[in-house]
């Protein structure tokens, strides 16, 4: 009887550990016009040692490319379909029948996210529709006996009203009851994960004087933080951020929902005014987070010691068509030509000594000086002309100096006129969120483009 009991206990433990395994995968974004094909990408994902890949949609070419690879795949219902699917079981059925059923027998689709950071990036009217859409998608999967697929949605850290100290983690009052509680109820009932995007880079970059860079990179030897309420001691910012969500869920009455890190990473480059975005820091962060997440036995976090945290690093490639600041286009583990930005092994098996030495970081201190926003050489003339018109239409006499007879007027020079307009616009509106990007037509420079009596406006840091 005792032996039989032990046998069943062993089977139970084996099943439990198999249900949630320790792995690190990679996010496969497609916002680039120079990326390898899906078939080429499969080989690159395998070379990274990734056990899982997440895509931002359900591209059939990608799903087909990953068949028979044993790599788990996470797919996504686009944000813009959430309202319609939440209102129609028929539409949910159709989406599953088109995007899941044809691939499931050969491709290991294991996660289906309904939207990406919806609360952070979509209109408010979509927020309460996330859970009804998830329920309908789950019902469709059940109809097709696709019970291995976990349904969830991804959330960024900005869903928290308070995250410091971690024990004070609290969801925002505008979403706690209408969005988060129904989500946690759904995740509990379906035994799914809370998918969380965690980027220590951003809180560190916003306040590098108060937060130690080593603490953000898992490199701190003497820097720790002890939560005054929980008495838990933290040695890195990642754990602090994750545990603030753990405590926030506990505060709503859900202390045991498993967390899946949907995105984490560090930019390998960025704009001149973006501190700490470099290859050294990116490699250091990602290698260290992989070590932590693949450790056996599992490390977990101070609030959840020993818990396994399946995770996905962002991103597979540097994607040149992502909008926003320069860092957005430089989170890749690989360049678009397939070469490594730096040595990395997502399986966690390669020691740091197995990688080539890293270049020394050159921008770990804030840049001090002037920056101008210039048009990119060789930019499409029609697009440049349109961007020039946009910048000049924003008022504040943005483009007066490039009018005929004025000091910055250069006949037939679209490049110089656009560059002046971009610099003028950016210098005026940067504080209200403007970036030097203009759909990829602009770039920052520390070299003063002024000439003669023409003085280009600049941003001073």
Torsion of CA 287, 289, 292, 293, to 10 degrees: -110
Return the CA Rg of the chain.
Answer: 24
Is 161 marked active-site? no
**DSSP string of 29-82, one letter each residue:** ----SSPPPHHHHHHHHHHTT-SEEEESS--HHHHHHTTTS--EEEEEE-GGGH
Strands 442-445 and 233-234: unpaired
**Is 436 in contact with 317 (CB distance < 8 Å)?**
no
Is 319 marked active-site? no
Among residues 19, 117, 319, 356, which one is catalytic? Answer: 117
Rounded Cα distance, 277 and 204, in Å: 11
Q: Which two tokens stand for residue 401?
A: 């100096």
CA–chain centroid gap for 131, Å, is 22
Rounded Cα distance, 140 and 339, in Å: 40
Taking alpha carbons only, the member of 318, 223, 211 closest to residue 270 is: 318
Helix axes 130-143 and 181-190, enclosed angle (nearest 10): 20
Among residues 19, 161, 263, 319, which one is catalytic? Answer: 263
- For the annotated catalytic residues, the residue numbers are 117, 263
């Amino acid at each position: 009887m005792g032996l039989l009991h032990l046998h069943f206990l062993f089977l139970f433990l084996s099943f439990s550990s198999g249900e949630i395994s320790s792995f690190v995968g990679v996010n496969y974004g497609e916002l680039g016009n120079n990326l390898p094909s899906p078939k080429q990408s499969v080989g690159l994902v395998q070379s990274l040692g990734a056990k899982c890949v997440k895509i931002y949609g359900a591209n059939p070419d990608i799903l087909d490319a990953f068949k028979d690879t044993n790599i788990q795949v996470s797919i996504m219902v686009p944000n813009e379909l959430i309202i319609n699917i939440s209102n129609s079981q028929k539409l949910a059925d159709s989406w599953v029948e088109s995007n899941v059923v044809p691939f499931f027998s050969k491709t290991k689709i294991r996660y289906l996210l309904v939207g990406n950071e919806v609360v952070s990036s979509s209109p408010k009217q979509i927020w309460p529709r996330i859970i009804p859409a998830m329920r309908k998608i789950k019902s469709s999967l059940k109809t097709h006996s696709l019970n291995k697929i976990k349904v969830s949605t991804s959330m960024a850290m900005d869903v928290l009203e308070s995250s410091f100290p971690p024990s004070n983690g609290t969801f925002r009052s505008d979403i706690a009851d209408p969005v988060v509680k129904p989500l946690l109820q759904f995740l509990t009932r379906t035994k799914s994960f809370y998918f969380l995007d965690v980027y220590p880079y951003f809180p560190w970059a916003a306040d590098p004087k108060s937060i130690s860079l080593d603490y953000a990179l898992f490199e701190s030897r003497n820097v720790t933080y002890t939560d005054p309420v929980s008495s838990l001691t933290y040695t890195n910012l990642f754990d602090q951020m994750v545990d603030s969500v753990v405590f926030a869920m506990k505060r709503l009455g859900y202390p045991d929902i498993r967390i899946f890190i949907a995105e984490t990473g560090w930019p390998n480059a960025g704009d001149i005014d973006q501190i700490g975005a470099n290859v050294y820091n990116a490699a250091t962060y990602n290698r260290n987070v992989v070590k932590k997440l693949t450790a056996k036995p599992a490390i977990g976090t101070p609030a959840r010691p020993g818990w396994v945290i399946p995770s996905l690093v962002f991103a597979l490639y540097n994607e040149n068509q992502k909008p926003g600041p320069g860092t957005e286009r430089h989170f890749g583990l690989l360049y678009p030509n397939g070469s490594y930005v730096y040595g990395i092994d997502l399986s966690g098996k390669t020691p740091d000594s197995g990688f080539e030495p890293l270049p020394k970081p050159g921008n770990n201190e804030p840049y001090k000086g002037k920056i101008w926003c210039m048009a990119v050489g060789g930019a499409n003339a029609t697009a440049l002309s349109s961007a020039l018109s946009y910048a000049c239409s924003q008022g504040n006499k943005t483009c007066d100096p490039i009018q005929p007879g004025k000091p910055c007027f250069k006949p037939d020079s679209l490049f110089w006129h656009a560059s002046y307009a971009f610099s003028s616009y950016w210098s005026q509106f940067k504080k209200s969120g403007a970036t030097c990007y203009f759909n990829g037509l602009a770039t920052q420079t520390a070299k003063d483009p002024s000439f003669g009596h023409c003085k280009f406006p600049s941003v001073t840091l």
